[in-house]
Structure 1
Amino acid sequence: MPELHVAGQSWSVPSGSNLLDALNGAGLRVPYSCRAGSCHACLVRCLHGEVENAAPDALSPERLAAGWRLACQCRVLDDLSVEVFDPARDGLPARVVACDWLSPTVLRLRLQPDKALRYSAGQHLVLWTAAGVARPYSLASLPGEDAWLEFHLDCRHPGAFSDAARRLQPGDSLRLGELRGGALHYDPDWQAQPLWLLASGTGLAPLWGILREALRQQHQGPIRVLHVAHDSGEHYLAEPLRALAARHPQLQVELLTATELAAVLAELKLVSRQTRALLCGSPASVESFARRLYLAGVPRNQVLADVFLPRA
């Protein structure tokens, strides 16, 4: 059986073992959120030996060349020596500059990193607490305009990171892990095309950044924003969205509750085959959005979706 070597420990594992399971089974507590290669919280570095990697495209070529892998996507076939991601060593320090509630369940977190971070609207970033709890979140901030990194945390349900976030105060420290692209972005080539942004819950976070990026780039086509919340009190960006709509006549904002969604989707009409649609939220809501867009005639290659997976 292959030998696994980590942090001075060595033990045998069955050939083909999932690397994340092997590490956590030995008590190393490698964090994860999705087990699908999406969250990037389970980042580890192969020092000697190689793994069977089911998701080689999930990391940049530079990261791969440096030995980094996503443990959930790897299987151990031969002797292997790895080191786990250490936020104190490998992460970028950041300071909490603001922490406030946008609704009864949505916490807005604003961070100032120790050095400038290059990112695009719609990207994701893994956040680490001082206690070593990691969770990926979409950036809601707009690079070049916002002086901070902004995140919208759904705190409806208990969770290791959200529980810790409730106790954060300005001046507290966090660490920033892997920055990744995600599926959502704004392309200047879309400038004249209709743009639909459909979100549920805090799936609005990356679309808030992308919407402002589109307006900054003087998007000329009609923009339709649809936000679905559990109840009207959870439309946590209602006022900023309405303020933008008042300044930009091409922008239409619709705020719906979950019970209203089916009827509105049923009436969704395609205004142009050139329509671009960006979807974000829970798996069920994104599936509902995508199904209706397909029936309405939006080409599949013009629909981009990012699903917020619950913790496995």
Structure 2
Amino acid sequence: MPELSVGPQRWPVAPGSNLLDALNDAGLNVPYSCRAGSCHACMVRCVAGEPLDSTPGALTAAQRQAGWRLACQCRVTDDLEVALFDPRRDGLDAELIACDWLSAGVLRLRLRPERPLRYHAGQHLLLYSGVVARPYSIASLPQQDDFLEFHLDCRRPGAFIDRARSFQVGDHLRLGELRGGALHYDPDWQQRPLWLLAAGTGLAPLWGVLREALRQEHQGLIRLVHAVQEDGEYYLAEPLRALAAQYPQLEVEFHAPADLPSALSRLRLPSRQTQALVCGSPASVEAFSRRLFLAGLPRSQLLSDVFTGRA
């Protein structure tokens, strides 16, 4: 039976045990979110031994060379010693410079890291409050904002959300790994119609992508659709309408749950060259994507990012 060790703690585990489960069953409280190898909240560093990794391509070659692995994607087959990600040692400090409610259920955080981060619109980042971590999409734009902005859906309880509700300006958080994310703006799209479809706080990365497209003087039609799960949660409606008034190529529309199916059924592509970016819950991304494909959008012209709750 293989043995797993972390610092002075050492214990036997069943062969083939999931590494994340084995660590948390021992009371080590390794954070996690998606359990699918996407969020990277559960990174640990292998000090001795090697687990069976089902998704080795999820990390960069440099990360793997340094011993980092995603615990949720690894199984313990032989003796293994790991070191846990310590946000105080391995993370980046950031000060909370603004904390305000954009709606009854959406909390906006603005953080200033101790050193600038190089990122692009559409990426996401791990936020740590103590040892509690959660990945969030970045809503800010590096060329225009001197802070990192995040939109938190606070309608349901959660370990990080429960802490976030009491955050105050001047608090410090730690930043974990910056992730690429599927969403971005490509200057080669400049003449093509660009559709941005978001559900709930799936609007956060698309808010950054939209402003990046406008910054790069996108010439094609831009259509942004924001769907919500509850009435009154169009939390960026005013700034979006202001942008639409300023840029004639931009159209924005908002849909409540009752009228969304009808609105989706009316979608018609202005061109086969349309590029679409979709973000939200698994169900909303599936609904958006299905309608776009039925309308004739080639699958290669759809980029999506799915927000999953903690498994």
Q: TM-score range by the shorter chain?
A: over 0.9
The runs of 4+ residues in structure 1 deviating greater than 6 Å are none
Question: How many residue pairs align between the two structures?
Answer: 311
Superposed, 1:204-283 pairs within 5 Å as 204-283=203-282
Worse-matched range after superposition: 55-64 or 83-92: 55-64
- Tell me which residue corresponds to 1:3: 3
How many Å apart are 1:230 and its aligned residue?
2.5
- Tell me which residue corresponds to 1:190: 189
Deviations, residues 180-229 of structure 1 (Å, cap 9, x unaligned) = 01111111111111100000000000000000011111111100000001
| 1:288 to 2:275 alignment | no
TM-score by length of 2: 0.99
- Tell me which residue corresponds to 1:167: 166
Unmatched 5+ stretches in structure 2: none
Return the letter of the residue paired with 2:228.
Answer: A
**SS of residue matched to 1:169:** coil
Unmatched 5+ stretches in structure 1: none
Superposed, 1:1-312 pairs within 5 Å as 1-130=1-130, 132-312=131-311
Worse-matched range after superposition: 104-113 or 223-232: 223-232
How many Å apart are 1:40 and its aligned residue?
1.0
Distance 1:149 1:31 in 2: 22
How many Å apart are 1:108 and its aligned residue?
0.3
**SS of residue matched to 2:213:** helix
**SS of residue matched to 1:156:** coil
**SS of residue matched to 1:271:** coil
Deviations, residues 107-145 of structure 1 (Å, cap 9, x unaligned) = 000000001111110001000002x11000000000121
Distance 1:101 1:190 in 2: 34
Distance 1:25 1:58 in 2: 24
Deviations, residues 259-294 of structure 1 (Å, cap 9, x unaligned) = 111001000001111111000001110000000011
How many Å apart are 1:232 and its aligned residue?
3.9
Deviations, residues 226-271 of structure 1 (Å, cap 9, x unaligned) = 0001344100000110111111101000011111110010000011
TM-score by length of 1: 0.98
How many Å apart are 1:39 and its aligned residue?
1.5
Return the letter of the residue paired with 1:17.
Answer: S
Return the letter of the residue paired with 1:30.
Answer: V
Distance 1:277 1:180 in 2: 21
Q: Percent identity?
A: 68
Return the letter of the residue paired with 2:179.
Answer: R
- Once superposed, what is the RMSD of the aligned Cα atoms? 0.8
**SS of residue matched to 2:120:** coil
